[in-house]
Amino acid sequence: MLNRVKIEHPLLVGTLVALLALSAQFGHAQTTANGTQRVAVATRTIARGTVLATGDFVLRDTTLRGPSDTTTVGEGWVARRLIGAGEILRMPAVERPRVINANQAVQLEWSDNNVTLVLRGIATRSAALGERIAVRTDSGRRVEATVVAPGRLRLQ
């Protein structure tokens, strides 16, 4: 005779089985979709705050499993923590170089065809190229703008 085991929590068991089946499908989809990618790998131990130079990393083709960061790391990026030799360089371990510092005086530009307006303001936080930040204008108004160059932001 077969001994049957009484399941005390059938809903919990059913949920676990469904999650395992789903994770197996999800993991397979990520592996085949990612394939081989070219990533930056540290050639030496890099201290926090170090600005990356050419000799600090090499680009290698590798197969990544799981979610991958599509950001391309390059010279000028800054290490946010201690990075070991051989470690893949990806955010948030490294970040784009900041071109605007918090409380820095900046120029805000707005243009529409032939009309261009330039305002002065103070950045509320540090930012890299392409990031949106809040800026306090000289009149005290707070506006959102996109960083386009060191010390320059564009209103849209």
Q: 143 or 67: which carries more pLDDT confidence?
A: 143
Domains held by the chain: number: 2
Across the range 21-29, mean pLDDT stands at: 39
28 pLDDT higher than 50: no
In angstroms, rounded to a whole number, what is the distance separating the alpha carbons of residues 92 and 30? Answer: 21
pLDDT in tens, 68-117: 665 678 888 999 999 999 998 988 889 888 999 999 999 999 998 889 99
**Same-domain pairing of 86 and 118:** no
110 and 87 in a common domain: no
67 plus 109 within the same structural domain: no
CA-nearest of 66, 75, 8, 80 to 37 is 66
Q: Is 19 a residue whose pLDDT tops 70? A: no
Q: Which residue has the tokens 């509320």?
A: 124
The answer to whether residue 82 sits within a structural domain is: yes
- Which tokens hold the place of 32? 């085949």
Confidence at residue 122, expressed as pLDDT on a 0 to 100 scale: 96
Give the global pTM: 0.58
Residue 136 lies in a domain: yes
